[in-house]
């Protein structure tokens, strides 16, 4: 867990060096609260620390109805290289048909043969150690109606609860409890899915923390209780039917696992895991629908999905202003996204049907924007580390130069004190050596500056390319 020691990027050599130094210095010191040895060999804590944002794509299989109507599969997954190919059927103006092939790369690409369990182990389980290290983790599913968001998200809390409860049963977490709540955002309003769809308000407390007022929280000690809560929440959710899904979710559903410490009523949250099953991304585009209710739902969903994208983009580029107020969804997620220990997994769900190709491409482009920015973020932090190194080298150069000046003055002093021809020769030889040392130091610094400027140039060029939207091919 490098972050706890101030290393947020494995390329950051200075931070790594400081860590090595501090390990030597603190061998006799007591370990930090969250790094107790009995947990180090717990399987959940052995998983690698997840990146700040991880984007994965999941393709669902063609269903019988789609096969019967002759819909073809346009998606090819190459899991080994985390690449997804979309073979988009197209038509030229002269009506001849052709296929346009699009290539997308993500952190993970899961084909139809990957089941919920495997997805959990690869993508979600690493988040468990995050929440036990006082972090906030968020996992959300994005995609068009019928693409498999609810199918993917619904089993995840159950799998996660098994792991969370197993860690909570260790003596290290005595007094910490799992508290589960669930609500939906429908038409910009919040409804408690564990308490008779009670309407909920969002407020900011004195410490500028967002609170969902009146939300019911249930203490969960075993998985069966959670199973009942998940079923209850699913039954309370607003659903309708779409062409692609008879049981279509018309809202964003949010399930929160809060780890609370102590016994007093307002126990502090020490870790948080949030699961979000978003409403279908195509709803915003349903402008041709005559039903006023559906149109209003669509507009609201569209607004929140755009706001979500803007927030993730802003977060990833470490922007000063993050537009959380853009929607209710982003407002309630503000606390989960903030802070160095925040981790997000985005699952982009896609349908393989040729008839869904346009929506699939939209989903992948949405996901790709998030991914592109994550790569850029790593480059920018490498640039900042290089800048730190250059400044440190410059400081060192100044110190060395001052030492050189002192040596030169001493040399002159020796010459003024003597005056014999031999001494002049020795003086000239020593001065030559000193000047060569100075020239070598200047050349080394010059080389560093040149390399740094080249790095700035390439990073800026890549930044400009990403900004011009060249995410997909």
Ligand X SMILES: Nc1ncnc2c1ncn2[C@@H]1O[C@H](COP(=O)(O)OP(=O)(O)OP(=O)(O)O)[C@@H](O)[C@H]1O
The contact set with Mg ion (CB under 5 A) reads: 149-150, 249
How far apart (Å, rounded) are the C-alpha atoms in residues 54 and 346? 6
Q: Considering beta carbons, is residue 53 or 279 the nearer one to ligand X?
A: 279
Question: Are the CB atoms for 305 and 142 separated by under 8 Å?
Answer: yes
327 binds ligand X (CB under 6 A): no
Contact partner at residue 242 from Mg ion, ligand X, none, CB < 5 to 8 Å by partner kind = ligand X
How far apart (Å, rounded) are the C-alpha atoms in residues 311 and 299? 18
Question: Are the CB atoms for 126 and 54 separated by under 8 Å?
Answer: no
Q: Among residues 293, 246, 13, 50, which one has the least CA distance to residue 146?
A: 246
Q: For 343, which DSSP code?
A: E
- The CB-of-110 to ligand X minimum distance in angstroms stands at 9
309 is in an annotated binding site: no
Contact partner at residue 363 from Mg ion, ligand X, none, CB < 5 to 8 Å by partner kind = none
Contact partner at residue 280 from Mg ion, ligand X, none, CB < 5 to 8 Å by partner kind = ligand X
Considering only 50, 135, 143, 271, the residue that binds ligand X (CB under 6 A) is 143
Question: Are the CB atoms for 223 and 165 separated by under 8 Å?
Answer: yes
- The CB-of-155 to ligand X minimum distance in angstroms stands at 11
146 is in an annotated binding site: yes
How far apart (Å, rounded) are the C-alpha atoms in residues 54 and 370? 9
Span near ligand X by CB under 6 A; candidates 101-109, 241-249, 338-346, 418-426: 241-249
Site track for ligand X across 335-364, x = CB under 6 A: --------------x---------------
Considering only 138, 150, 195, 336, the residue that binds ligand X (CB under 6 A) is 150
Question: Are the CB atoms for 106 and 55 separated by under 8 Å?
Answer: yes
Q: Considering beta carbons, is residue 45 or 110 the nearer one to ligand X?
A: 110
The burial of 327, by beta-carbon neighbours within 10 Å (0-12 exposed, 13-18 middle, 19 or more buried), is given as buried
145 binds ligand X (CB under 6 A): yes
Torsion of CA 195, 196, 197, 202, to 10 degrees: -30
Span near ligand X by CB under 6 A; candidates 67-75, 139-147, 297-305, 307-315: 139-147
Phi, psi of 388 (to 5 degrees): -60, -45
Size of the site for ligand X (CB under 6 A): 18
Q: Among residues 124, 133, 128, which one has the least CA distance to residue 164?
A: 128
Span near ligand X by CB under 6 A; candidates 156-164, 227-235, 247-255, 383-391: 247-255
Q: Nearest-CB residue to ligand X?
A: 148
How far apart (Å, rounded) are the C-alpha atoms in residues 211 and 1? 30
Q: Considering beta carbons, is residue 113 or 219 the nearer one to ligand X?
A: 113
Span near ligand X by CB under 6 A; candidates 28-36, 239-247, 265-273, 322-330: 239-247
Considering only 5, 85, 151, 427, the residue that binds ligand X (CB under 6 A) is 151
DSSP H helices in 245-356: 292-316, 328-337
144 is in an annotated binding site: yes
143 is in an annotated binding site: yes
> How is residue 451 written in tokens?
């390399």
Q: Which of residues 53-92 bind ligand X (CB under 6 A)?
A: 60-61
How far apart (Å, rounded) are the C-alpha atoms in residues 184 and 252? 5
- The CB-of-288 to ligand X minimum distance in angstroms stands at 18
- The CB-of-464 to ligand X minimum distance in angstroms stands at 35
344 is in an annotated binding site: no
Length of the chain: 473
Give kind and range of the element (H or E) at residue 81: none
Contact partner at residue 327 from Mg ion, ligand X, none, CB < 5 to 8 Å by partner kind = none
How far apart (Å, rounded) are the C-alpha atoms in residues 161 and 220? 9
Phi, psi of 197 (to 5 degrees): 55, 35
Q: Considering beta carbons, is residue 251 or 274 the nearer one to ligand X?
A: 251
148 binds ligand X (CB under 6 A): yes
Using CB under 6 A, list all residues that contact ligand X.
60-61, 143, 145-151, 242, 245, 247-249, 279-280, 349
């Amino acid at each position: 867990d490098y972050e706890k020691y101030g290393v947020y990027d494995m390329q950051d050599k200075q931070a790594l060096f400081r860590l090595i130094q501090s390990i030597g210095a603190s061998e006799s010191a007591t370990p930090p609260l969250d790094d107790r040895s009995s947990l180090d060999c717990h399987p959940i804590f052995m998983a690698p620390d997840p990146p700040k944002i991880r984007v994965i794509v999941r393709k669902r299989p063609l269903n019988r109805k789609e096969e019967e109507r002759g819909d073809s599969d346009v998606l090819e997954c190459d899991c080994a290289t985390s690449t997804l190919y979309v073979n988009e059927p197209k038509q030229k103006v002269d009506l001849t048909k052709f296929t346009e092939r699009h290539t997308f790369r993500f952190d993970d690409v899961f084909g139809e043969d990957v089941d919920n369990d495997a997805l959990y182990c690869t993508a979600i389980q690493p988040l468990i150690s995050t929440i036990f290290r006082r972090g906030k983790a968020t996992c959300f599913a994005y995609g068009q109606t019928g693409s498999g968001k609810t199918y993917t998200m619904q089993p995840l809390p159950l799998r996660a609860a098994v792991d969370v409860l197993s860690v909570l049963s260790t003596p290290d977490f005595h007094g910490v409890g799992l508290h589960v709540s669930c609500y939906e955002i429908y038409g910009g309003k919040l409804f408690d899915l564990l308490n008779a769809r009670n309407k909920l308000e969002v407020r900011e407390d004195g410490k500028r923390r967002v609170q969902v007022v009146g939300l019911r929280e249930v203490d969960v000690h075993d998985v069966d209780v959670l199973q009942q809560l998940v079923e209850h929440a699913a039954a309370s959710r607003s659903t309708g039917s779409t062409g692609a899904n008879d049981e279509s979710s018309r809202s964003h559903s949010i399930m929160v696992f809060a780890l609370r410490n102590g016994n007093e009523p307002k126990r502090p949250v020490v870790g948080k895991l949030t699961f979000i099953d978003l409403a279908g991304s195509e709803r915003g585009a349903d402008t041709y629908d005559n039903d006023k209710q559906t149109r209003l739902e669509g507009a609201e969903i569209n607004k929140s999905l755009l706001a979500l994208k803007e927030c993730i983009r802003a977060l990833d580029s470490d922007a000063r202003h993050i537009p959380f107020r853009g929607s209710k969804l982003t407002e309630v997620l503000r606390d989960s996204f903030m802070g160095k220990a925040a981790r997000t997994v985005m699952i982009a769900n896609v349908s393989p049907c040729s008839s869904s190709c346009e929506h699939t491409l939209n989903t992948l482009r949405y996901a790709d924007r998030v991914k592109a920015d994550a790569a850029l973020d790593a480059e920018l932090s490498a640039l900042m580390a290089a800048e730190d190194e250059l400044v440190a080298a410059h400081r060192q150069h100044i110190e060395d130069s001052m030492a050189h000046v002192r040596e030169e003055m001493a040399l002159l002093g020796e010459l003024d004190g003597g005056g014999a021809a031999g001494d002049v020769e020795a003086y000239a030889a020593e001065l030559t050596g000193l000047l060569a040392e100075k020239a070598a130091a200047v050349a080394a610094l010059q080389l560093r500056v040149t390399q740094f400027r080249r790095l700035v140039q390439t990073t800026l060029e890549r930044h400009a390319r990403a900004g011009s939207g060249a995410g997909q091919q």
